[in-house]
Structures are given as C-alpha cells and as structure tokens.
Structure 1
Amino acid sequence: MDKVESYEDFSYHSHDRYEIYYFHGGECKYLIGDRIYRLQEDDLIIMNGLTLHRAYPEPGIPYERSVIEFSSEWLRPILNNLNVPELLSPFNQLSNTLFHIKDKEKSAEVKALIKKMAEKLKSSKQENIVENRFQIGELTSMLMQLLFKVFELSKQQLENNSLAESDKNIHVKKMIEWIDTHFCEPITLDDIAHHLNISKYYMSRIFKDVTGYTIMQYIMSCRINRAKYLLEIHLDKSILEVSLESGFEDSSHFSRFFRKQMKLTPTEYRNSTAIRMKNTN
C-alpha cells in the first residue's frame, strides 16, 4: 500500500501487463481512455494495460492506493496447468472496469491480501532474493488468491456481458485474441480476415467502431508495449533483437517509430528506466 504525496509522475501511460488497482482512501479521479472515475474508498479497477490510463489526484491531498501488475504471458500457462484459465476472463472480457466493494468483510480480505503481497515484495527486494523460487512461488500463490477474489466480484458482470454480447463484439474479441498471439509476426489485414473468415473491410470498420482504434494502431501499440517490456527487463538484448522480437522489420524502422511514440530513442528509454528502477530500490 502506497501513500502518495507527489504527483509529477502521473502521466498517461500504457503497458503490456494486466493491472489491479485498489484505492484505499483520499481524493483522486482515475482516467482510462475517455472514461473518468471519481474514486471512493474500496474501489477496485482491473485493466488490460494497453488502454492509456492515469491517476488524477487532488493537488496537495495525499491518497493511498495499491497497484498489482502481472504478465498474462507468464501467468496463462500456470492457470492452464491448474485448469482455471477463466481467472483471466475479467481482464479479457471486462477490461478497464471499476468495482466498488460494498461488503466490508470482502474489502478487508482483499486489503489484507494486497498488504501481505506488498510486504513480501518489499522484503524480497531488501534481502535481494527476488529470484528465490520459494519467494516467487509464495507470491504466485497470493496472486492466484487475489485473482479468485476478482473473479468472484466479476461473476455477475461476466454473465451479463456474455448474454448481451453482439456478433460484432464477438468478432472484435476474436480479432484481439488473434492479434495478441501473433503481433510479433509479420501480419497483414488479409491474414486476420482469412483467419476469421470475414471481409477485411467489414473487419476494419467494426474494430474501429468497438475499440476506437484502427487494427494497425492496435497492432503497433502491442509491438511498442512489447518493446518497452524487453527494454526494461532484458538489458542484455540488443536494440536489433528487441525490434525483431517485437514484430518490427528492422532496427531503424523500430527506432524511428519508437522515438515518434515515446519521445525517446530505445536506448534513452532503457537508460531512463534503469535509473528510475535504481532510485526506487
């Protein structure tokens, strides 16, 4: 749980990880895409990370929140092995949704679990044992418990969403699922249309209607977020390796596009991230 009193870092951002945001108290609005939420104590937000989002706190008024981020690429095989892949359904089907936990017992359980996770992460960093498999196993177990609680909160909305889902939304969901699996490959609109067996013109129109993005904008957003992840985590990878593993044809095209989007070169972004991580440890 973090008590936040400085606001210079609250810029719009996106990332390729799922996010659970828990608001403990204070004064804050939260912007996700074009939606604005005025947060109340015990509000919980789930996000897919790709949609631009930011906290907008009241100047001079501290507020408390907890943020849990995790990679679906890392967690999905674990959930599949345990035969509970549906625990990611809230993030896939209800992404960018706010829940207000009215039940005090449930909110207390969630807060206690998040606090325990935060303490475990903090002690792991202090003792320099983040790579210890027992610590990782314990944190994974706690994350699973938290996902079960999120799934319980989401059940009614998931059922309503399933009943109300139109053919158009079903097509777009299938497009997103396919793109999320293949965006690192050289793909075209024809490839997606062929896979879904629909007209690429109809496909392009409904994707923009539902998401607000063109298909290529979404693909490039996925690639940029993948590149940011590789630059932050895999410091041994060259810029060429990062560009190819993110779906770009070559490093020069990648560097130009990355700088246009991020206002930094890939190397500058990596260095700024490394400095920020060093300062927080």
Structure 2
Amino acid sequence: MQIRLKDYIKDGFPLALMPVSDSTEFPVHSHDYVELVLVLDGTGVHLAEGREYVISSGDVFVINENFKHGYRNAKKLKIVNILFDLKALSAPLYDLRLIPGFLSLFELEPRFRVKHEFKSRLRLRQKDIFRAKQLAFDIHRELSERSPGYKAICVGLFLELLVFLSRTYSKAPTPERDTLCNFSRVISFIESRFAEDISLGQLARLAKMSRRNFQRAFMAATGSSPINYLLNLRMAKAAELLVGDASTPVSEIALRIGFCDSNYFARQFRKIMKMSPREYRDSQRR
C-alpha cells in the first residue's frame, strides 16, 4: 500500500500533519513523501523494511519516500506524523544545513539505521517533547483553520521545528550520533567551501577517521566517494550559474566553482551532464 501526499494536502500546499493514537497496529505501507515522526507517548514496535525496532515516548526519526514501514504492539502509542516535500515548499533553508544535527537526522540517520540498530535516532527529554508537540500542534491548528497567511506561518513554524530538532540532536551525544554529526560537519564543509582546494586528508581529519575508513564510511553515508561528491556539487553549482547569469563567460564560471582550467571543467561537465556548458545554457533558454 502506498500513501500519496496529494491525498492529505489542501490547496496544493505540500505540508500536512497527521496525529495517530490508540491504534494497536498500522499496516506496512510506503509513501511518496518524506515523513517526520514524533513519538509523543507510549510504546510500540516499528516495522522497517523487514526489521523491527522498539519505539517509545521521545523518539524522533525520518521515513523517506518509498520506504516500507508500519507499527505493531502499540501500547498507548501517540504519534504525530508530519508529511512534507521540502523542495516543493520552496522554503529558504539559509544556514540550516550547517547545523550538524540537521543532516544527521534528516539524511544520514535513515541510511545508517540498520548499521546503528536505530541507536542514532533522536531521543527527546520530556521538556523537549512538550516543545516539539506544541510546535506540531500549532502547525496542525493553522492547517485546519486555513486563515489568510496560514501557509506562511506554517512554513515558519515548520522551520522552527526543524531547527529545534536539529540543535537538540547536535547536543545529545551518543557514539552513533557523534559519528553522524562528524559526517554532517564534513558535508557542510564541502558544501560551503566547494570552490576551494579540498584534500581527502582534510576531510578525514574533520571526520576524526583514517583516510581509508573515512572513504569507506563516506561512500556508505552518501553513495558516492568524497571526490565524486565534490565534483557533482561543483557541476550542480555550475549549472545554476550558467542559467542564472547568462552573460558570464564559461571560463569565469569554471573559476568560481574551483576549476583553474576551463577546458578540464568543460570535459567534466559534459561527462556528468551529457552536454557541454554552452549547450546546457542554450537548452535552458528554450
């Protein structure tokens, strides 16, 4: 069974909230959106792609699209599911990705869930549960009432919740969470300094690992080698510049993203984008 975001949203606004309580079981399902799960009370068993994890009050985790999951053996379980499409929301994230806990909770933890046996999930203390619950219920109220301006305030409340959870994750160390936060710092470093000359040794030191272990772990975390991750990021930035600043010469764009040789840049761009920089620019004008 797959659940679709469009069945829950109104006015095409890609954010919805679904409280779930007093249900002993929820059949295994998947969905075409990302789901942020806040466990407010009780206990249960989370069924996740053939594995089972005990969940309880204070647990926070993310379910990515097309991921099969469900619940059983629920005892007084109260959950808030926040359904969203971050790209479709077009919300300005500003420096949110610089918080180690953001990348850890929303991108890395789902990938490391099996390896870490769910130990890298976020666990909220009682006072933090209350704050997260209040923000979630404020979003729910605005979505229900739909007063003029509700979309704007929902985005603001949602971003506040993301920042709160991300900061809390960063301040709640366990060996598993520390590992993810170290990787988050590496990814943030690459994303903020992609145009600089970044060495593998520099990244390994940030991750507090040997080069060999870092390369293997980075591949597991991102599905890419550190070098390819940096290269793909540079190409994505180049594509933005080619379209957003059509008067800028290709050679200058190459310099902006960290390439001293514009010919080498053009070859790498063609290899990844399947067309030259100029062809890409022209294709976006049509």
Give TM class, smaller chain. Answer: 0.5 to 0.7
Matches for 1:7-156 after TM superposition, within 5 Å: 21-22=14-15, 29-30=32-33, 36=66, 43-46=83-86, 66-70=88-92, 72=93, 75-76=94-95, 91-96=102-107, 106-107=139-140, 109=142, 116=149, 144-151=156-163, 154=165
Residues 87 and 147, structure 1, Cα contact 8 Å, conserved in 2: no
1:174-208 CA-to-partner distances (Å, cap 9, x unmatched) read: 22122222221122213333555642222212212
From 201, 204, 219, give the equivalent of 1:193: 204
Higher helix share: 1
Distance 1:104 1:203, change over 3 A: closer
Give the counterpart letter for 1:208 in structure 2: M
Give the counterpart letter for 1:43 in structure 2: L
Count of aligned positions = 204
Q: What RMSD over aligned residues (CA atoms) do the two structures have, in Å?
A: 4.8
From 213, 236, 242, give the equivalent of 1:202: 213
* Partners of 1:69 and 1:207 in 2: CA distance: 28
Q: Which residue of 2 aligns with 1:13?
A: none
Residues 91 and 155, structure 2, Cα contact 8 Å, conserved in 1: no
Residues 255 and 266, structure 1, Cα contact 8 Å, conserved in 2: yes
| Aligned-pair CA distance for 1:30 | 4.8
* Partners of 1:272 and 1:245 in 2: CA distance: 22
| Aligned-pair CA distance for 1:165 | 3.2
- After superposing the two structures, state which structure 1 stretch, 235-244 or 264-273, moved more: 264-273
Q: Percent identity?
A: 22
Distance 1:201 1:87, change over 3 A: closer
| Aligned-pair CA distance for 1:247 | 1.7
Distance 1:149 1:251, change over 3 A: same
Give the counterpart letter for 2:262 in structure 1: S
| Aligned-pair CA distance for 1:46 | 3.9
Give the counterpart letter for 1:206 in structure 2: A
Name the TM-score, length of structure 2 as normaliser. Answer: 0.52
* Partners of 2:104 and 2:278 in 1: CA distance: 35
Distance 1:257 1:204, change over 3 A: same
Residues 29 and 36, structure 1, Cα contact 8 Å, conserved in 2: yes
* Partners of 1:22 and 1:259 in 2: CA distance: 37
Distance 1:151 1:168, change over 3 A: closer
Higher strand share: 2
Q: Which residue of 2 aligns with 1:178?
A: 189
Distance 1:199 1:261, change over 3 A: same
SS at match of 1:236: coil
1:33-78 CA-to-partner distances (Å, cap 9, x unmatched) read: x95259xx9721447xxxxxxxxxxxxxxxxxx43153x5xx33xx
Name the TM-score, length of structure 1 as normaliser. Answer: 0.53
Residues 168 and 206, structure 1, Cα contact 8 Å, conserved in 2: no
* Partners of 2:32 and 2:212 in 1: CA distance: 38
Distance 1:111 1:233, change over 3 A: farther
Give the counterpart letter for 2:83 in structure 1: D
| Aligned-pair CA distance for 1:105 | 6.0
* Partners of 1:23 and 1:181 in 2: CA distance: 31
| Aligned-pair CA distance for 1:88 | 5.9
SS at match of 2:275: coil
| Aligned-pair CA distance for 1:29 | 2.7
Unaligned runs of 5+ in 1: 5-19, 48-65, 77-84, 119-138, 276-281
| Aligned-pair CA distance for 1:262 | 1.5
SS at match of 2:84: strand
Q: Which residue of 1 aligns with 2:284?
A: 273
Unaligned runs of 5+ in 2: 1-5, 7-12, 18-30, 35-63, 69-80, 111-132
Residues 110 and 146, structure 1, Cα contact 8 Å, conserved in 2: no
Give the counterpart letter for 1:36 in structure 2: N
Distance 1:116 1:182, change over 3 A: same
Q: Which residue of 2 aligns with 1:253?
A: 264
Give the counterpart letter for 2:243 in structure 1: E
